[in-house]
Copies of this chain bind each other. A is one copy, B any other.
Amino acid sequence: MDWNVYLSGEIHTDWRQRLKEGCEANNLPVVFTSAVTDHEASDAAGDLLGKEDSKYWRDHKSAKVNAIRTKTLIENCDVAVVRFGDKYKQWNAAFDAGFCAALGTPYITLHDEEIIHPLKELDAAAMAWAKTPEQVVEILKYVMTKA
């Protein structure tokens, strides 16, 4: 069985890359999926259907196009990793965590110790809290390959 792992959240650090490299180094049977992580392209997704004057509706239109991808991939994943960085609101990452919780899809949070209090509801519904991408790799390795 290949495990399908969805990577949600922060797009400004290299955590996805480190996670993927760690899994490859361990030959883990894993397929990664993600939202579009090119910030500008993501904001402009709706423009493919015509420009909007209103900022609100431009965002709305783009977010719906992006949801075709994210909703499908999250619903198909076996496990999600939800990353919170030290900047930005990252409400979409928290939204993804809630979505997983309602579906009963296990997810792992990835964040620093400084933000455990505001993330307590998300950590409580998560199956694990990791501080580094390397820890996530260890967990995935254990889960997927330990006999």
Contacts and interface: CB of A to CB of B under 8 A. Distances in A.
Contacts of A138: 48-49
Given A98-B96, A142-B36, A125 B89 contact: no
Copies in the complex: 8
Interface residues of A, number: 82
A53 interface: yes
A64 interface: yes
Given A96-B98, A123-B63, A135 B49 contact: yes
Contact of A63 (B54, B65, B70, B124): B124
A82 to B, nearest CB: 10
Given A1-B76, A72-B79, A127 B89 contact: no
Interface string A14-56: 0000000000000000010100111001000110111011111
Query: Which DSSP category, helix, strand, loop or mixed, fits chain A's interface?
Result: helix
B147 A36 contact: yes
30 contacts: A1-B33, A3-B72, A36-B142, A48-B142, A49-B129, A49-B130, A49-B138, A49-B139, A50-B131, A56-B123, A59-B117, A63-B120, A63-B121, A63-B125, A65-B139, A68-B106, A68-B108, A68-B143, A69-B143, A70-B121, A72-B78, A72-B106, A89-B115, A92-B121, A93-B94, A98-B99, A98-B101, A98-B102, A99-B102, A100-B102
